[in-house]
Amino acid sequence: MRLPEHIKLFSHQVETARFLIERDRAFVHNDIGTGKTLAAATALMNVLGDTGKALIVAPKSTLNHTWERTFYFHFKDVEVRVVTGTRNRRWSILDDDDVQVFIINPDALHIIQEHRRCSEFDVVLIDEHTYFKTARTRRYKALKKIVDQCGPRLWMMSGSPMPQAPTDIFAPMKLVCPDRLPRTSFTRFRDWSMFQVSTFKWVPKRGIEEQIAQLLDGVSIRFSRDECVDIPPAQFAQMSVSASAEQKKLEKQLENTAIALLEEGHTIDAANEAVLISKILQVASGAVKYVSKSGEESAHMVDCSDRLSALDDIIEASDGPVLVFSPYRAPMQVICEHLEAQKLQYKVVHGGVSLKAREEAFDAVQSRELDVLVAQPSAMSHGLTLTASNVVVWWGLPWSNETYEQATGRIIRVSQTRKQYIIHLVSSKYEEEVARRLQEKQRLQGTLLELLQERRSV
């Protein structure tokens, strides 16, 4: 087996690479932070040889910082290009016969699906197959078209293959192992794997994860972090902070709005619940986004002085950069203005920050040039190693198990040498409950309704 330069693989990485080499279609479900990228790159190099070609489909934030660098540092003789830019530029990159490995993000697949190169790939590698959990999407249809044109090898990876529901694995299985599916339609698979408890609420059947694992036996490999390497432990903690008078007032108003809807006989479905809980969580975070009737967005800043003081204490006690995650953009302004006043070195990453600027921010964390990285977790969640930090502060909480797990996993990785601390700042019963459910990987839907019901029954 050809092994990477300048680094020795862990035994689980060698076994993962060998598993892929021996199979045309396979899943890799190793835990977040176990080195899937290098294991998969090793498998690719052993399959491609000197002339084969591969397409790697990965989240936008990992194209250069994770995948391109992996080849640069460990397989220097391999020509690699990231397929970005206009349609003409992307097609021009694909025309280059000297390139062996092309890297692209999922939402650009439709742009290249008609290119002749798409019938020539020896391997298509998907990093994070939860991007393809819905067969109706444009990205899924484009991927299927490409896979149907090229060779038989399709490898799909994810550290959290079923982040929201068992049905998340249905569409990927249709590509990798359709013969293993117990039901051939999504509706039937959902009925097989979940119970419907109300019009909009479905819950997984007991033991369904084990049943799905049995279906994937032989086409999927999985190592947990505990099985892979002796990573120092992670400690999760809730730090209670006092809500300001303004926060309490706004939260009460939102509560009353929701209770009034229930008492008038209205149903709060999943979408409405997500909007309401989002507003409550934004209030706790220090800024609430509003959209006017004309469509203009604005943010109302809310006093959150106790939360800022708690953040100061954490930064002061930390030995290295602190990662501060805020799911919402508006509160990031509050945090940054405070860090500026404290004369701390920081950078910001969110959906509006360029890839180049993101990479510079990540490098600054790893080189320990920063005191704080303030980040929107959805903008930097996959594939990144930020182990120069061992402290994550959840300034606000996301309404997504997958986003929470992926973002937290940036410091819990094979290269981590220190104990990790994941701290949730909480100032309300809503934050406490969401934090608990996220940490215990429980379903988020229904949180608001259950807490409102408790209040109504008091």
Spatial distance between the Cα atoms of 15 and 418, rounded to a whole number of angstroms: 26
Q: What is the pLDDT of residue 458?
A: 46
Helix (H) or strand (E) holding 455: helix 447-457
Phi and psi, residue 376, nearest 5°: -85, 115
Q: What is the pLDDT of residue 225?
A: 74
Comparing CA positions, the residue from 220, 157, 235 lying closest to residue 391 is 235
Spatial distance between the Cα atoms of 8 and 4, rounded to a whole number of angstroms: 8
Spatial distance between the Cα atoms of 384 and 421, rounded to a whole number of angstroms: 18
Q: What is the pLDDT of residue 278?
A: 83
Residues counted in the chain = 458
Helix (H) or strand (E) holding 195: strand 194-196
User: In this structure, are residues 132 and 126 in contact, taking their beta carbons and an 8 Å threshold?
Assistant: yes
Domains of the chain: 11-228 (3.40.50.10810), 234-457 (3.40.50.300)
Phi and psi, residue 153, nearest 5°: -80, 120
Spatial distance between the Cα atoms of 414 and 2, rounded to a whole number of angstroms: 21
Beta bridge partners of 422: 236, 392
Q: What is the pLDDT of residue 230?
A: 61
Q: What is the pLDDT of residue 403?
A: 87
Q: Whole-structure pTM over 0.75, yes or no?
A: no
Q: What is the pLDDT of residue 117?
A: 96
Q: What is the pLDDT along the chain (458 residues), one digit of tens a residue?
A: 888 877 788 889 999 999 999 999 999 999 877 889 999 999 999 999 889 999 999 988 788 878 998 999 899 999 999 999 999 999 999 999 999 999 999 999 999 999 999 999 999 999 999 999 999 999 999 999 999 998 789 999 998 888 789 999 999 999 999 999 988 899 999 999 999 988 878 999 999 999 999 999 999 999 987 777 666 778 888 888 889 999 999 988 888 877 776 666 666 565 667 778 888 889 999 998 877 667 777 788 999 999 999 999 899 888 899 999 999 999 999 999 999 999 999 999 998 998 889 989 999 999 999 999 999 998 875 678 899 999 999 999 888 888 888 888 888 887 788 889 999 999 988 888 888 888 877 766 666 556 655 554 54
